[in-house]
Structure 1
Amino acid sequence: MSAVTVTGSDPKNRGSSSNTEQEVPKVAIDTNGNVFSVPDFTIKDILGAIPHECYERRLATSLYYVFRDIFCMLTTGYLTHKILYPLLISYTSNSIIKFTFWALYTYVQGLFGTGIWVLAHECGHQAFSDYGIVNDFVGWTLHSYLMVPYFSWKYSHGKHHKATGHMTRDMVFVPATKEEFKKSRNFFGNLAEYSEDSPLRTLYELLVQQLGGWIAYLFVNVTGQPYPDVPSWKWNHFWLTSPLFEQRDALYIFLSDLGILTQGIVLTLWYKKFGGWSLFINWFVPYIWVNHWLVFITFLQHTDPTMPHYNAEEWTFAKGAAATIDRKFGFIGPHIFHDIIETHVLHHYCSRIPFYNARPASEAIKKVMGKHYRSSDENMWKSLWKSFRSCQYVDGDNGVLMFRNINNCGVGAAEK
C-alpha cells in the first residue's frame, strides 16, 4: 500500500489560493481487520506536553521503594519459615498442601523480586536519581543479585529504546518477516506441517518462551538482531566485544560479568551454609518467577494484534515509541511492579521520568497521541494467549508491517 496524497489548500496557509499536495499518513490493516493510521505527531509535540515537575527525580523516594521491597522479601521469608510453616506442619503433613504452601511463597517472593528488578531498570535509565554513580551502583547491586548483567543489559536495552519498532535496529522481540517465518517452519519439516496451527503447539512454545526466554536472550540473543559478520557464539550479554555493544563499553561489560561472578560466589556460600533446600526455595524458584514476569511483561508491551513495526525508511522515533501498549495488572502492577505495565508508552517517550511521576506524564501525552495511544484492560493472561496465537510474523508492502499468523486468527493468514 503506497503513501496517499490529496490535493487542496494547505491548512497552514488557508489564505493562499494556490493548491498544494498534502501527504496523508500511511495506513495498514491490522490483524483484527481494522485500519491502522501511522502517527503524524512529533517527539517535540510529546515532550512539550509533559509537565516539568514530572521530570523530578528524588533519591530519597527511590531509595524508599528499594528498602520497602527488600523489607517485604525479608519479612515474608521470616514469617514463612519461622511462624507460618511450623504452624502448618503442626496441623497437617499432607504433601499437596505443603507443595501449595511453598508454591505460594515462591510466587510472592517472585513478585517482590520483580519489583526490585524494575527499580534496577529505573537505575539503568538514570530515572532513579540525579546522581549517575548512585544509579549505577544501586542498579548493579540489585541486578547482580538477580543474575542480570547490569551494564550489558543497560546498553542493549538503551538501543532498544532508541529504535523501538524498527525492523533492523530494535534489540528485542523483533518479529520475523513472512519469509523468515516460513523458512523457520520449513526447517522443522513434517513436524511443523502437522502441528504448526494447533493450540497444543502454541502452549508448548509459550511455555518455552516464559520459562527460558530471558536466559536465552542473555546468552544467545534470541528475538534480537542477527550479526552475520560475527560468530554467533559472541551474540550474548557477557562477551566483552559482543556486537550488541560498542567497543568503548568493554570495561562496563566486564563489571557486569564481575557482578554475576560475585553473586555466584554468594550463592555458593549460601548453599554451603544453609543447604540446597534453602537456596532452592528462597532464591532459585523466585528467580525463575522473576524471569517469567520479565518475559510476560515485555512481550505484551511490544506484541499485540493492533501493533505496527516499520522498515528503515518509514520509522521515526515518535512512531516507534507509539508502537507500544499500556496494560493493567490489578493491584500488582502499580503497587509491586511499580507501574511498568500501566505507563509503558510514556516510558518509551521519556525513560528518565521516574515511575512515581509517570501517571500524570502519561495523562499529558495521551492528549497529543489521541487515537494513536494504545492501551488494554483485558486480562493479561488472556492477552498473552491471543497475542501468541495472532502475532507470529509481520508483513506489509508500504513500510508499515502488521502482525499476521497461520492460526486463522484475524486477517492475512500465510500459506501453510
Structure 2
Amino acid sequence: MTASTVTTKPQQLPSTDSELRLPDILRTLPRQCFQKDWRQAWTAVLLNSLCVGLGYWGIVSAPWFLLPFCWIFTGTALTGFFVLAHDCGHRSFAKRRWLNDLVGHTLLLPLLYPFHSWRILHNIHHKHTNKLEVDNAWQAFQPEFYSSLGRWGRWGYQGMRGRLWWMASILHWAFLHFNWQRFEGKDRDRVRFSALLVLAFAGIALPLLWVTTGWWGLFSLWLMPWMVYHFWMSTFTLVHHTAPNIQFKPAAEWNEVEAQLFGTVHCDYPRWVEFLCHDINVHIPHHISTAIPFYNLRMAHQSLLEQWGSQLQTCRFSWALMTQITNQCHLYHPNQCYQSFQEFHAD
C-alpha cells in the first residue's frame, strides 16, 4: 500500500535476506531515537491532561448538538493517556521502573484498563508479531477453528472482523485483562493488583458519577468517551497489523525481520488525531524497538524510509481502507494471506 492508494489484490512482501536480523536494522537508526527526554515526556502528560479536561468541560458546557464532537475529542484525548501508558509499559517513558508503573497505572485508571495484564500480554505480541497461533493481537481465525464454532460464535467473529470492528477492543479488554489466574508467579501478583485496583476505582467512581449526575451524566461523561477510546484502540490495532498482503506465518516459517519491518503498517491519520494520540500511528519503528519513546518515532521512521523506502507498508486512514480490511481480511489462508467469509462459504 502507499499513502494515497489502497491495495486491492494480495501482493508478496519484499523478500528478506535470511541473514538480516533486527540488531542490523537497529544499528542503522540514529542513536538519538533511543534517548529519553523527561521534559518531552512530562510535557505530553500535562498537555494531554489539559486536553482531557477541556473535553470534559465541553461535554458539561456545550449545547446538545455539539456533544458528539465533544465526545469524539474527549475519547481521542483519553486514547492519548493510553499511548503514554503504553510507553510506560515498554519502559520508554521514564528511566525508573517504579515510575513507569506508577504513571502507567494512573493514566489507565480513567480507562478502567489494568496496567500489568496489558503490559505483559502486549509484550507477547511484540515478541511474536504475526506468528500464527502465538501473536495475541488481531490474529485471524483459521478456517477449521471458525467452522467448529457455533452459530453465535461465528456471528460474533464475523461482526468483529466486519463492520463492528470498533467494538473488538472491548471484548479483548473484558476477556483477557482481568483473569490473573492465567498468569504465573510474580506476574500473577502484579496482574491481580492492577485488576483489583481498576475494579476498586470503577466501584467508587461510576456509582459516584451516577449519584451526582444521574444516568445522563454516566452516559455522557463516561460511556461515550470510553466508547470513542475503544474505537481508536480497535482501529489502531487492526489497521497497524492487517492488510491483504500481510501474512501470519507458522513458527517454523516465521522471520522476525519480515514480521516487524515489513509486516506492520504505518498509517497516516488526520493530524489532530496523531497529535492527541502521540504518533501511535508511526508504528513500524515501534516494532523495530519498543525502547524508542513516542516523541522519537518520526525520526526513526524517516531513517527507515531512507533505508527501505517503498518496501514499507504505508496507508492513509479512510473509509475505503476500513472497507477493504473488513471486506477481505477475515480468515487465515496459507497462500493468499486472508480469505473472506464470502470466499470461505462459497468453497
TM-score by length of 2: 0.88
Q: How many angstroms does 1:132 deviate by?
A: 1.4
Q: How many angstroms does 1:154 deviate by?
A: 0.5
1:35 pairs with 2:31: no
1:7-406 to structure 2, matched below 5 A, reads: 32-40=9-17, 41-82=20-61, 84-85=62-63, 98=64, 100-184=65-149, 187-188=150-151, 206-211=162-167, 213-220=168-175, 236-242=176-182, 245-264=183-202, 265-322=204-261, 323-341=263-281, 343-377=282-316, 379-396=317-334, 402-406=337-341
Whole-Å separation in 2 of the counterparts to 1:263 and 1:384: 35
1:379-405 per-residue CA deviation (whole Å, 9 max, x = no partner) reads 4322111111111122226xxx71222
Q: How many angstroms does 1:131 deviate by?
A: 1.8
1:213-258 per-residue CA deviation (whole Å, 9 max, x = no partner) reads 12211333xxxxxxxxxxxxxxx3222221xx34330111112112
**For this pair of structures, how many residues does the alignment match?**
337
Whole-Å separation in 2 of the counterparts to 1:208 and 1:334: 23
Whole-Å separation in 2 of the counterparts to 1:33 and 1:253: 40
Whole-Å separation in 2 of the counterparts to 1:246 and 1:350: 26
Whole-Å separation in 2 of the counterparts to 1:354 and 1:257: 26
Whole-Å separation in 2 of the counterparts to 1:130 and 1:267: 34
Cα 1:183–1:380 change in 2 (3 A) is farther
Q: Which has the higher contact order (CA 8 A, sep 6+)?
A: 2
Structure 1 gaps, min length 5: 1-29, 86-97, 196-200, 221-235
1:241 is paired with a residue whose SS is helix
1:127 is paired with a residue whose SS is coil
Quick check: 2:55–2:71 contact (8 Å CA) kept in 1?
A: no
2:180 is paired with a residue whose SS is coil
Quick check: 1:333–1:340 contact (8 Å CA) kept in 2?
A: no
Q: How many angstroms does 1:43 deviate by?
A: 0.6
- What percent identity do the matched residue pairs reach? 24
Cα 1:271–1:54 change in 2 (3 A) is same
Moved more, 270-279 or 167-176: 270-279
Whole-Å separation in 1 of the counterparts to 2:145 and 2:131: 16
Q: Relative to total residues, which structure has the larger helix share, 1 or 2?
A: 2
1:34 is paired with a residue whose SS is coil
Whole-Å separation in 1 of the counterparts to 2:39 and 2:68: 34
RMSD, aligned CA = 2.7
| AA in 2 matched with 1:57 | K
Cα 1:78–1:204 change in 2 (3 A) is closer
Whole-Å separation in 1 of the counterparts to 2:58 and 2:305: 43
